[in-house]
Copies of this chain bind each other. A is one copy, B any other.
Amino acid sequence: MRVEGNGLTRIDDPADPRIAEFRDIKERDLAGRRGRFIIEGTVVLRMAAAAHGAGAFEIEKILLLENRLDGVRDILATVPDDVPAYVASGGVLDAIAGFHLHRGILALGRRMAEPDLDSLIDTLPKKALVVAACGISNHDNIGAMFRNAAAFGADAVLLDETCCDPLYRKALRVSVGSVLSVPYARGGSILSLLERLAERGLSIWGLSPSGQSDLRDIPPESQGIVLVTGTEGEGLPDTVMNRFGTARISQRPGLDSLNAGMATGIALYEIARIQQKI
């Protein structure tokens, strides 16, 4: 077990360079900065610890409020001893973070090599369920997509180059750590991404209030199904709508379409049932 002086170091100076990455975390977001990102809270730390060492993510250091230590002992026990863990008082921790950090649990994560889209596609099982997001820059929506992808057993999330990084603090938090468990790749245009999935025999369905098919009527294709979500305002580009199948979620007429995260969640729920994944 880690104790102070043995795997656990006390921080008394908010300016201590060993915890510099946690300074003023609201003001600057580490996502994209050499793959570093901020982990917050017990649940996300647990997901990060589970992912650590599996190849995609690593925990670089941990910073805890002193009275939260006992609550995460079981997680710390699963993190190798060479990952530094620091503790601080509430006053010091708040001075580091730049605001009152009531959760009291922080860690610095690092994404290892960015996965390549083709190798990710190679890992997809038969009857795959994939989410493809186009232009989703809202951190809540990206987080919700990952959380729902995990809840309904999606095999991958693919983000086009205009989506935000899912490792942004808020996206990761809203995903309740699912960004660390659901395989994903990010980059390229939505059309090139979808073409590559179509070449592999996956069936592509763009979600839209004006979709041609009711979501419930999508057949359980043997190679798998890709659900494509666009932004709320713009929707999916015509190039996608004209090239692939389109599906709508039944709802009352004359209303604003559903929130992008919500639409993806309902579509995943529906297709996971059709594919007998849930």
* Residues of A bordering B, CB below 8 Å: 43, 140, 144, 147-148, 150-153, 176, 216, 249-252, 255-256, 258-259, 261-262, 265-266, 269, 272-273, 277-278
Contacting residue for A262 out of B144, B251, B277, CB 8 A: B144
Provide a sorted-by-A list of 12 A–B residue pairs whose CB atoms are within 8 angstroms.
A147-B259, A150-B252, A151-B252, A151-B255, A151-B258, A153-B252, A250-B269, A251-B269, A258-B265, A261-B262, A262-B262, A265-B265
A144 touching B259, Cβ below 8 Å: yes
Copies in the complex: 2
Separation of A252 and B250 alpha carbons in the complex (Å): 24
Contacting residue for A258 out of B43, B140, B148, CB 8 A: B148
User: Smallest distance from the beta carbon of A138 to chain B beta carbons, Å?
Assistant: 12
Q: Which residues of B contact A140 (CB under 8 A)?
A: 140
Q: Which residues of B contact A153 (CB under 8 A)?
A: 251-252
Separation of A256 and B143 alpha carbons in the complex (Å): 14
